[in-house]
Amino acid sequence: MLPPTGLSNLPMIDDKIVTIERFLLDTQPESATGELTAIFYDLAVAGKIIGAQTRRAGLLDMLGLAGQTNVQGESQQKLDLLADEVIVRLNDHTGRLAAMVTEERKDWVRIPEGYKKGHYVLVYDPLDGSSNIDTNISIGTIFGIYRVLDKENPGRLEDCLQPGRDLVAAGYIFYGTSTMLVYSAGKGVHSFTLEPSMGEFLLSKENIRIPEKPAYYSVNHSAGRTWCKEMDNYISWLRDEYEPALSFRYIGSLVADFHRNLLHGGVFAYPATPAKPNGKIRLLYEAAPLAYLAEQAGGYGSDGKQRILDIVPTELHQRTPVFIGNRDLVEKAEELLKNC
């Protein structure tokens, strides 16, 4: 049955319009305190603010470099700093978090004096793919949420250095042709699309599964001249042997590449090279949350030798090679790269 006129342009599931707030409340376990749900809701608000600023960036002279470099020595874009500030200011006083780790700050973020510490830790990359901002390419915010290790003594470095297998939830907010929030709290992957005139995230896909037949492989081919020969073999296998034939797509904006491969099937690879022995992608707030989402959607994430979710971080800003996507495509990387 066609929905009544005027509703046909709203995302609906089984003829129902479901807001993110409704979905979060309806799907939280009975025993839940509501703390995690509230963190999600604040992240959705952050997504609305960052999405709005991203769209206005060209008008407001927010594009371009802010004249500083972050902890990885990369130039910080003005929007990176703004996105980071939005997330900290929305979350540091709510009493739900005990610590935050962000790509933009060298040390982990403490809860300011005078505010209660909560039981969760938020790790995030406020604006991933930011080297693409100036050219109007889709970018995103990636996040992961952990429980503190000791509720009696919350907010320590150890709380921040947990392996991805202990994530309570993870997701990303994607600033593309529309703004989308995609998350999992351990029971499937769900996406919400921002209805811009109402400012509401509406459920657009429930229980996303990576299609069994993948469509794409994504890697920066220009790094190929320095790959080990096993990596060359892997790429040849993807390009020349895999059936059905895969198409090559690489945006160079991780959330955008991951999102496309999640919906259409495929693998995103950022391998090690002699110049970048640990690749480029950060373990804590990029690789682990996306590997968690991939596994929740029936896929897999590996560093080429082991499951990404089993890597215990020793540093906040540690990098890792990544292969994330359909399980068979990622397992083939592990098989071929054993001796790389």
Query: What letter does residue 281 receive in the DSSP assignment?
Result: S
Among 281, 287, 294, 311, binds ligand FDP (CB under 6 A): 281
Q: Which stretch binds ligand FDP (CB under 6 A): 122-130, 184-192, 229-237, 300-308?
A: 122-130
Which of these, 149, 109, 147, lies nearest to 126 by C-alpha position? 109
Q: Pick one of 19, 94, 132, 233: the residue that binds ligand FDP (CB under 6 A).
A: 132
Check binding of 128 to ligand FDP (CB under 6 A): yes
Site membership for ligand FDP, residue 303 (CB under 6 A): no
Preceding omega of 211 cis (within 30 degrees of 0): no
- Among 48, 78, 49, 74, CA closest to 63: 78
Q: Does 194 bind ligand FDP (CB under 6 A)?
A: no
Could you please report the per-residue DSSP string of 121-136?
Answer: EEEEEEEETGGGGGGT
Told to check if 253 binds ligand FDP by CB under 6 A, we report yes
Q: CB under 6 A: which stretch of 154-162, 185-193, 236-244, 247-255 binds ligand FDP?
A: 247-255
119 binds ligand FDP (CB under 6 A): no
Regarding 280 and contact with ligand FDP (CB under 6 A), the answer is yes
Q: Should residue 278 be labelled a site residue for ligand FDP when binding is judged by CB under 6 A?
A: no
Tell me how far apart the terminal alpha carbons of the chain are, to the nearest angstrom: 56
Distance CA 39, CA 94 (A): 9
Nearer to ligand FDP, 129 or 154 (CB): 129
Q: Are the C-beta atoms of 53 and 77 separated by less than 8 Å?
A: no
Q: Is 138 in the site for ligand FDP (CB under 6 A)?
A: no
Q: Kindly state the smallest distance separating residue 130's Cβ from ligand FDP, in Å.
A: 5
Cβ-Cβ contacts under 8 Å for 259 (sequence gap 6 or more): 140, 172, 174, 176, 180, 182
Residues in touch with ligand FDP (CB under 6 A): 128-132, 220, 252-254, 257, 280-281, 286
